[in-house]
Amino acid sequence: MPAPTDPRRDTYQAYFHRRWNHLRDPHVRTLAWLLDAPDLLDPAAPEWQGRIASIGAMDEATLSWLMTIDRDPSALHAWLDIKPFTRLGRYAEKLMAFYLRHQGRLFAHGVQVRAGKNETIGEFDFLLRQSDALVHWEFATKLYLLEASGNGRHADYFVGPNLADTLGAKVRKIMDRQLSLSQHPAAKLHVPEPIVQAQALVKGWLFYHGKTPLPATPAGVSSGHCRGFWCAHEELHWVAGERFAILPRLSWLAPAKVAVEQSLDRHAVQEALASHFQTASTPLLIAQLEQRDGYMLEVDRGFVVPNDWHSRAEQRVKQAG
């Protein structure tokens, strides 16, 4: 039975650390991930009909800017204004807004469209300047797990850790509803300039069950997308490694860089997970770590889910149609 951390896989983590290990601030590292990570959806895939946005290759000016921010991240921290219950999606949006504002491309962020006082039609995540018009970007950062029944591998079989949605449902919502917001009559009352294009920028990770071979890339998903594993709590023995970290939600995006003394040995992470699942059913994201250059760096990551998660995920997929 192959371990989830298959050494044959050239991991995204290895690439990220080669490129960004000099960054120290965790929020700057997450911003670097947002700008440099593979798109979750392939912009060239025919099914998207050109409606997937991409940041593109990073230029030297942006590399230098990130290094400058890392030396003094106070302005970024003030912009983020993180609260105890800040949502991951909101956190990522504010990081992206910080970058787009620096680029001089940001016209507006989070513009709500209302019809009357009590009806909200939707919200423009980002409106970007393009000559004398605007471009609408819908932005999402998502993590999904491929449920392990073997019934399918397309987008509807990728389920959120808390079973709240699926990749297929999220994509349909973006494509069918959110990207058409500018066509609503009420939108003209909130946006003073014409919107000439609407696209989705989607970043994230997909997680595959540890006992399955690495599957073919799902249709419409970038072949180089960020990957991890998932296992039930009772399957934890499959996970290789001796040092770990349990990642808090705002650390779910960029590969982890942890002080040596903050890492957990195998016994400690097993105890922490056992304690968690005694009272909660929320999946936890763990990073497998190795020591390099005075830090513990992530070499693989995976969700540890409750033992009944698999059956509930399969049922969630059936309910989704």
Q: What is the pLDDT of residue 320?
A: 67
Q: What is the pLDDT of residue 321?
A: 62
The position carrying tokens 């787009």 is: 100
Tell me the domain boundaries of the chain. Answer: 12-319
> Is the separation of the CB atoms in 174 and 140 below 8 Å?
yes
If you ran DSSP here, which 8-state letter would residue 195 be given?
E
* Dist. CA 45–CA 36, nearest whole Å: 19
| Residues in the chain with pLDDT values less than 70 | 1-10, 211-213, 320-321
Q: CB-based burial of residue 260 (10 Å sphere; 0-12 exposed, 13-18 middle, 19+ buried)?
A: exposed
The tens digit of pLDDT for each residue in 129-151 reads: 988 889 999 999 999 999 887 77
The tens digit of pLDDT for each residue in 60-116 reads: 999 999 999 999 999 999 999 999 899 999 999 999 999 999 999 999 999 999 887
Structure tokens at 52: 């997937």
Q: What is the pLDDT of residue 50?
A: 93
* Dist. CA 207–CA 227, nearest whole Å: 6
Please report which residue ranges of the chain form alpha helices under DSSP H: 12-20, 26-36, 60-71, 74-80, 88-103, 167-176, 266-279, 309-319
Question: Quick one: CA torsion of 178, 182, 187, 189, rounded to 10 degrees?
Answer: 160
Report the greatest alpha carbon distance in the chain.
60
Residue type, 8: R
